[in-house]
Chains A and B, each alone.
Chain A
Amino acid sequence: MSKEKQVKVALVSCGSEYAGVQGELDKVTASVNAKLIFPEIDIASLDTIGRDFGIEAASPDLRLMMARAQAVVEGISDVDGVFITSCFRCAEAAIVRNEVRRYINKHSNIPVISYSFTERTTAATLMTRMEALTTIARRKHLLAREHQTGLTAGIDSGSTTTKAVIMKDDKIIGQGWVPTIKVIDSATEAFNHALEEAGVKAEEIQAIGTTGYGRFLIGEHFKAQLVQEEITVNSKGAVYLANKQKGSATVIDIGGMDNKAISVEDGIPGMFTMGGICAGASGRFLDMTAKRLGVEITELGSLAVKGMQEKVDMNSYCIVFGIQSLVNSLAKGSRPEDVAAAACHSVVEQIFEQQLQEVDVKEPLILVGGSSLIEGVPKALSTLLKIDVLVPKNSHLIGAVGSALLASGFVEE
Chain B
Amino acid sequence: MAKVIIYPINSLILSDLVERFGHKPLAMMEKIKDKVNTVGVDSPPLNITAEEPKKGLKYAAVEVPAGVRGRMSIVGPMIDEAEAAVIVNEASMAFGCMGCARTNELTKYLIRQKEIPILEVEYPRSEEEGKEFVYKIAEFLKSLPMESRS
Contacts and interface: CB of A to CB of B under 8 A. Distances in A.
A26 interface: yes
B64 A15 contact: no
Contacts of A70: none
B45 interface: yes
B43 interface: yes
Given A60-B97, A87-B67, A88-B66, A19 B102 contact: no
Interface of B: 42-46, 48-54, 63-71, 92-94, 97-102
Given A14-B99, A58-B101, A119-B54, A88 B43 contact: no
A87 B65 contact: yes
B65 A17 contact: no
11 contacts: A14-B67, A15-B65, A18-B70, A20-B48, A47-B93, A57-B101, A59-B101, A60-B99, A60-B100, A61-B99, A90-B65
Given A22-B46, A93-B65, 13 more contacts: A19-B67, A21-B66, A23-B42, A23-B43, A23-B44, A59-B101, A60-B97, A60-B98, A60-B99, A87-B66, A88-B66, A89-B63, A118-B53
Contact of B100 (A20, A61, A119): A61
The 7 closest A-B pairs by CB, nearest first: A15-B67, A87-B65, A58-B101, A61-B99, A20-B50, A18-B70, A19-B66
Interface in A267-300: none
> Which residue among B43, B53, B66, B102 has the maximum number of chain A CB atoms within 10 Å of its CB?
B66
A92 interface: yes
Contacts of A73: none
A19 B100 CA distance: 12
Contact of A15 (B43, B49, B66, B93): B66
Interface of A: 14-23, 26, 43, 46-47, 57-61, 64, 86-90, 92-93, 117-120
Nearest to A93: B65
Contacts of B53: 19-20, 118-119
Contacts of B46: 17-18, 22
A18 B52 CA distance: 8
A88 B53 CA distance: 13
Contacts of A18: 46, 48, 52, 67, 70-71, 99-100
Contact of B43 (A20, A60, A90, A117): A20
Contacts of B92: 47
Contacts of A47: 92-93
A21 B54 CA distance: 13
Contacts of A117: 66
Contacts of A26: 44
A14 B70 CA distance: 12
Contacts of A61: 99-100
B51 A92 contact: no
A60 B70 contact: no
Nearest to A18: B70
Nearest to A57: B101
A59 B71 CA distance: 14
Given A19-B53, A20-B43, A92 B101 contact: yes
Contacts of A20: 43, 48-53, 66, 70
A52 to B, nearest CB: 15
Nearest to A15: B67
B61 to A, nearest CB: 11
A22 B100 contact: no
Nearest to A118: B66
Contacts of A87: 65-68
Contacts of B97: 60
B99 A15 contact: yes
A15 B48 contact: no
